[in-house]
Amino acid sequence: MSPSALAVDRRSAVPLQQQLVAAFRDAILSGRIVAGQRVLSSRELSTHLAVSRNTVVNALERLHAEGYLVTVRGVGTFVAESAYRRVPVRLHRARTALVPSRFAASALEVESLVENLDIAVPFRPGVPALDRFPAAAFKRCFDVNALAERDFDYPEALGYAPLRRAIAARLAQSRGIVVDADEILITGGAQTALAAIAQVLLDPGDRAVIEDPAYPNAVAILRAKSAAMIAVPVDEAGICVERFARRAARLAYVTPSHQYPMGWVLSLERRLKLLAWAERCGAWIVEDDYDSEFDYTGRRPPALHALAAGGRVLYVGTFSKTLAPALRIGYIIVPPELRRALRAAHAILGGAPALFVQAALARFIERGYLGRHIARMRRLYDERREAAAQALREHCAHDLCVMDAGAGLHFVALLRKGIDDRAASRLAAQSGLVVPALSSYAIERTGMNGLVVGFAATPPVRAWRAAQHLAQVL
Amino acid sequence: MSPSALAVDRRSAVPLQQQLVAAFRDAILSGRIVAGQRVLSSRELSTHLAVSRNTVVNALERLHAEGYLVTVRGVGTFVAESAYRRVPVRLHRARTALVPSRFAASALEVESLVENLDIAVPFRPGVPALDRFPAAAFKRCFDVNALAERDFDYPEALGYAPLRRAIAARLAQSRGIVVDADEILITGGAQTALAAIAQVLLDPGDRAVIEDPAYPNAVAILRAKSAAMIAVPVDEAGICVERFARRAARLAYVTPSHQYPMGWVLSLERRLKLLAWAERCGAWIVEDDYDSEFDYTGRRPPALHALAAGGRVLYVGTFSKTLAPALRIGYIIVPPELRRALRAAHAILGGAPALFVQAALARFIERGYLGRHIARMRRLYDERREAAAQALREHCAHDLCVMDAGAGLHFVALLRKGIDDRAASRLAAQSGLVVPALSSYAIERTGMNGLVVGFAATPPVRAWRAAQHLAQVL
């Protein structure tokens, strides 16, 4: 056997010994050297390859151990009879081309909505002001040395107990929701929460009510469970409960504080009707309160969970909007009947966030940093919201109509007839603006024509300039 | 209206103003005070309730804002006509009792295997030596101040780039797997990885090959997708590929380095046959290499991924066994055809771990801490493995036969006929030992009778004592 078959690369990060083993294996498996063939001695290989004798000896030992080589004492070393040739690997791309599962197909659709986003892009929806992330305070809350041996283990299935207590206390203060810490399940963000809920509540074919237009990730998750979707239009008072009041479903997914994407707030009347419907047909309500802390009017009705005294409502919260998406922490307030199943499902899906981050966030809330940060951000976002709306009214009044419901981190701007929102969104992207087309959030609904405008991460000066660019695009 | 309807609790964590608002809402929604009814003045309420005037004024303003109250100037304040009564909430437990989804049902089965586990319990499988977690080194790697604004955003969908590079470098050194950092997708642990893979590869009814006995969480995830499972027995050389070689399937889930739970290593011959089968029928192989770093024999064949040159193998790794489960970080080496779909699916399921932890782990690997920790743990676990096996042979030789394949963090001890493993496991749990029954991991297979014994987290002295206890139980 010629040692030239065993090329090694001295600039590679892979150790020489490792390379030598891999080269031998490859030569055997590909049939370039065959069973029974003699292998050069370690001395000869060392000389030919200019690799230290020790490295060669170790590599050969490894190959012996793996069963590729055998040594006959006094005769020599050979490729073992049992060293099988590798199946020829050919990538038949045509044959093996991925036929994606239904879930993968809808996941890919959603991806195209959010691909290639950069933090610096003006008007990008769904992100808080990350330039104001309180990094110093957050770092002070990290203390891995304070963690005990138990804390390096799999996290408690419900989540880190001090964090659950801190969230319960905050919910009482800021949302009027009074719950015990044991009713809270910590998740890896709102997405993980929705995925676990869908797994526990839905079997293929079960009916699920969803707002139209809707949060695309929620739609993808319902599609993943092959749910039969009942898409219900929303208006200024939120989801039109009357439209499905006589139909039964297993669950209804709603965003009452700030409908996604329209921004409308579900009225008290509709809230009560929705709860009555759920009671009547035994449905569960999933209340996604993703940006609930940002209400600039003070007029918002109480959470569904507070109105229903918890009965049939799963309340989903997240720290992605109040603090930073990078944390990946959210939570569910779970009705007692669902607690065991949801805890088990969430554990199996592997959704629990790292304990270190849970512990840091617990301290961050307990020490009052979160409350202060949110209060500051509420003022900041209120200013930015005014500035963004003002800039668009100033520069794009002819083509756009801002619909500002006074909540959340984004609003919708309706486009005048004659402008196609997908085309406008594409053109805007080319000039560096991320303003997704409203029609891309529609499920069955037609006639949606507008742009979704995020304001929280866009300072006034940049909003002004961005509005000028947008005017040119339109 | 009598103020006695508005009880406040001074010891509660909920601020008095918040309590007052909630009490008013509740009285209105429950119909105790009705539309048009007059409300006492803030001065009167303040006196009757012994709460500061300011608190009462703020509470009333909030109720005005929410639309519960209206003030007629010069006349007084009234419960608004538009203040709707709450639907009477009755929890019809019988009617609404949860009929769990198929997934929830199998999740609950798995939960019973691992419930109420404590770190201090001897022989508990699946956990590394957490008493040796290198907390000081890990803390030095945490540096949230070093993160830029961009880093507080949603994590890059593939995971933090420096961590992907660090993992790629380590795979080349320790497993002979040469991949580009862009082929790696960071997940929230092995569970999250499996959940995303199942979502992308499987539609209801698709066939999936699985080892029997098997890792229960993987079984639950396949059941969640309503996969048609082909359960294939394992023997000393791993999964019996011959048994399904003529059948087609969409995927095969295997644990080649250390079969879970049996501990056997998949032979080179079977590895090549498995790869040939996948090529023939266009199936994907999911190689779960959960505790691959712990091979005490040096004889283990290369990873399937290395043998197949990547073609049809999704390699799943985790840091739960090498470092700590609390991190919640794993990864998948993704074939190029699946990359976009898997990245999108994982993003929608919300599986990405917190960026801070990804960044800390990247530094921990780059600075060589992980390599040193694993080398130390390999020596430690080898000693603990010997000690546990020795202790069981000493004390339970009559009833148990230790099957130590020389890898991983656990081994199986077969029970002699006449002892039922579930009964033995239950009794052991009562005397403080966690040794799950082998038969509880079986899918279709009968005749499994043994205990799964974890040794990594059990020091020799405790193993000795635990074996004595187990002998008494048996």
- Average pLDDT on A329-338 reads 93
Is the backbone peptide bond immediately before A460 cis, with ω within 30 degrees of 0?
no
Distant-in-sequence, close-in-space partners of A114: CB < 8 Å, separation ≥ 6: none
Distance from CA of B36 to the nearest CA of A (A): 17
A-chain residues within 8 Å CB-CB of B313?
none
Residues A452-473: tens digit of each pLDDT: 999 998 999 999 999 998 999 8
Q: What Rg, from alpha-carbon coordinates, does chain B have?
A: 29
- Average pLDDT on B88-96 reads 39
Lowest mean pLDDT among A186-190, A430-434, B92-96, B330-334: B92-96
Can you give the pLDDT at residue A175? 81
Asked if B67's CB is within 8 angstroms of A347's CB, the reply is: no
Can you give the pLDDT at residue A350? 84
Confidence of residue B44 (pLDDT cuts 50, 70, 90): confident
Tell me which residue of A273, A291, A309, A267 sits closest to A176, measured CA to CA: A309
Residues A380-392: tens digit of each pLDDT: 999 999 999 999 9
Lowest mean pLDDT among A45-49, A282-286, B105-109, B235-239: B105-109
Tell me which residue of B157, B158, B155, B138 sits closest to B147, measured CA to CA: B155
- Average pLDDT on A135-149 reads 79
Residue B444 DSSP class: S
- Round to whole Å and give the CA distance between B91 and B196: 36
Asked if A145's CB is within 8 angstroms of B327's CB, the reply is: no
Q: What is residue A238's three-state secondary structure? A: strand
Can you give the pLDDT at residue A238? 94
Cα–Cα distances in angstroms (integers) from residue B405 to residues A22, B258, B262, B288, B411, in the given order: 24, 8, 9, 17, 7
Distance from CA of A48 to the nearest CA of B (A): 23
Distant-in-sequence, close-in-space partners of A111: CB < 8 Å, separation ≥ 6: B157, B340, B343, B344, B347
CA B71 to chain centre: 54
What token pair was written down for A337? Answer: 């009947």
Residues B55-88: tens digit of each pLDDT: 888 888 888 776 778 777 777 787 776 555 544 4
The DSSP code sequence of A89-149 is: ----HHHH-----HHHHHHHHHHHHHTT--TTSTT-TT---GGG--HHHHHHH--GGG--G
Distance from CA of B324 to the nearest CA of A (A): 6
Confidence of residue A178 (pLDDT cuts 50, 70, 90): confident
Tell me which residue of B271, B210, B221 sits closest to B244, measured CA to CA: B210
**pLDDT higher than 80, residue B167:** yes
Q: What is residue B154's three-state secondary structure? A: coil
**pLDDT higher than 60, residue B276:** yes
- Residue B8 vs residue B471, higher pLDDT: B471
Tell me which residue of A182, A125, A103 sits closest to A320, measured CA to CA: A125
- Residue A351 vs residue B95, higher pLDDT: A351
**pLDDT higher than 50, residue B143:** yes
What token pair was written down for A241? Answer: 């409960």
Percent residues over pLDDT 70 in chain B: 89
Residues B316-336: tens digit of each pLDDT: 999 989 998 888 899 999 998
Asked if B357's CB is within 8 angstroms of A152's CB, the reply is: no
Most confident segment among A407-421, B6-20, B21-35: A407-421
Confidence of residue B172 (pLDDT cuts 50, 70, 90): confident
How does the average pLDDT of chain A come out, rounded? 85
Please work out, in degrees rounded to the nearest 5, the angle formed at the alpha carbon of residue B187 by the alpha carbons of B102 and B157. Answer: 110
Q: Which amino acid is at B185?
A: L
Pick A108's closest partner by Cβ from B101, B133, B340: B340
**pLDDT higher than 90, residue B127:** no
A-chain residues within 8 Å CB-CB of B176?
18, 21-22, 25
B-chain residues within 8 Å CB-CB of A67?
268, 299, 301
Confidence of residue B89 (pLDDT cuts 50, 70, 90): very low
Cβ distance B230 to B186 under 8 Å? no
Distance from CA of A162 to the nearest CA of B (A): 15
Pick A226's closest partner by Cβ from B15, B204, B206: B204
Distance from CA of A401 to the nearest CA of B (A): 26
The residues pairing with B208 across neighbouring beta strands, listed in sequence order, are B229, B251
B-chain residues within 8 Å CB-CB of A21?
176
Percent residues over pLDDT 90 in chain B: 41
**pLDDT higher than 60, residue A262:** yes
Pick A108's closest partner by Cβ from B269, B312, B341: B341
Residues B415-454: tens digit of each pLDDT: 998 899 999 998 888 888 889 999 999 999 998 999 999 9
- Average pLDDT on B208-223 reads 92
Please work out, in degrees rounded to the nearest 5, the angle formed at the alpha carbon of residue A128 by the alpha carbons of A127 and A134. Answer: 135
Q: What is residue A35's three-state secondary structure? A: coil
Most confident segment among A64-78, B105-119, B459-473: B459-473
**pLDDT higher than 70, residue B112:** no
What token pair was written down for B180? Answer: 């580009």
**Alpha helices by DSSP H, A156-248:** 161-175, 190-201, 216-224
Asked if A29's CB is within 8 angstroms of B301's CB, the reply is: no
Pick B101's closest partner by Cβ from A15, A203, A297: A203
Confidence of residue B122 (pLDDT cuts 50, 70, 90): confident
Can you give the pLDDT at residue B226? 83
Lowest mean pLDDT among A294-303, A434-443, B229-238: A294-303
**B-interface mutation test, from A114, A177, A346, A348, most B Cβ less than 10 A away:** A348
Does an H or E element contain A185, and which?
strand A184-187
Tell me which residue of B346, B287, B274 sits closest to B314, measured CA to CA: B287
End-to-end alpha carbon distance in chain B:
71
Can you give the pLDDT at residue A25? 78
Q: In what order do the strands lie in the sheet with B450-454?
A: B400-403, B410-415, B450-454
Question: Does the structure's ipTM exceed the value 0.85?
Answer: no
- Round to whole Å and give the CA distance between A404 and A421: 18
| β-strand pairing of B207-212 with B76-79 | unpaired
Cα–Cα distances in angstroms (integers) from residue B172 to residues A234, B47, B302, B305, in the given order: 54, 76, 12, 12
- Round to whole Å and give the CA distance between B369 and B361: 10
